[in-house]
Amino acid sequence: MAASRALRDLTLTLVAAVAALGCLLVIAWKIYFRGAGTSTDWSGWWERELQELREREPPGDTDWHPTHPLLCSPQVPWRQVLVLGLDGAGKSSVLHYICSHRARKSIAPTYGFNSAQLCVEGLEVDLLEVGGSQNMRAYWHHYLSQAHVLVFVVDSVDRSRLLTAREELHMLLDAEPRLPLVVLANKQDKSDALSTAELWEELALHTVNGQREIFLLPTSATWASLSTTNSVLHVKNLLVTLLSQP
């Protein structure tokens, strides 16, 4: 039994390492070919789905939709948003909602990474989501150096793992002390969700370095939340503002 468990743990660790290496290679690939003026098509599964949705929409609505890399000019400034959080926090759902303005009933967990490219407000924006399993978290800090904004998604209902979320978040903040931080208090549509005020205390955000820009937003990636204060679309507007800063 012990040998079987050890083999399983080793397998999970190796899978996480391979996924992390693949993610780093994708980042390097995009940066290299962007500088060379050559397009790439390394897309996450939901980026391809969003592109199909975009192609079916009527013309004229171009705000924050995924685009094929060929449509992003190499001359526009490049920005990366790094999206992290524990597994099950709702990272993929939030990004899907931001990009498509559509909600999904269920999205499979991210075991490696998801990536989407957007052209917005004269910027080329890469949204990079890295899986939040225990094995993947060990590699999170490798992605901080290329990020312009860190988005950390928290499950507002999962009280049992708030301490883990806080510890992981503060390790990231210690590693990159000036990176703007956007914390999303997700799943606010649930009746037992903690409020943003409660999460501010639980995550010890009051202890964060005062020189860092920090935001805590309530979110819910559901159809019913589209026109409420919990809409993920508010996150989109904030990211545009942060990424447009010199």
Report H helices in 126-243: 134-137, 162-175, 196-202, 233-243
- Gap between the Cα atoms of 184 and 24, Å rounded: 25
Q: Does the annotation flag 63 for ligand binding?
A: no
Q: Does the annotation flag 30 for ligand binding?
A: no
Q: Does the annotation flag 131 for ligand binding?
A: no
Q: Does the annotation flag 105 for ligand binding?
A: no
Q: Does the annotation flag 132 for ligand binding?
A: yes
Q: Does the annotation flag 126 for ligand binding?
A: no
Q: Does the annotation flag 87 for ligand binding?
A: yes
User: Please, what sign has the CA dihedral across residues 195, 238, 97, 128?
Assistant: negative
Q: Please check whether residue 161 is in contact with residue 49, taking contact to mean a CB–CB distance below 8 angstroms.
A: no
**To the nearest 5 percent, what fractions of the chain are helix, strand and coil?**
45, 15, 40
Q: Does the annotation flag 145 for ligand binding?
A: no
Q: Does the annotation flag 190 for ligand binding?
A: no
Q: Does the annotation flag 115 for ligand binding?
A: no
Q: Does the annotation flag 110 for ligand binding?
A: yes
Q: Does the annotation flag 210 for ligand binding?
A: no
Q: Does the annotation flag 86 for ligand binding?
A: yes
Q: Does the annotation flag 11 for ligand binding?
A: no
List the strands of the sheet with 78-84, edge to edge: 113-120, 123-130, 78-84, 149-155, 181-186, 214-218
Count of CB atoms situated within 10 Å of the CB of 160: 8
Count of CB atoms situated within 10 Å of the CB of 51: 19
Cite the annotated binding site for Mg(2+) by residue number: 92, 110
Cite the annotated binding site by residue number: 85-92, 110, 132, 186-189
Cite the annotated binding site for GTP by residue number: 85-92, 132, 186-189
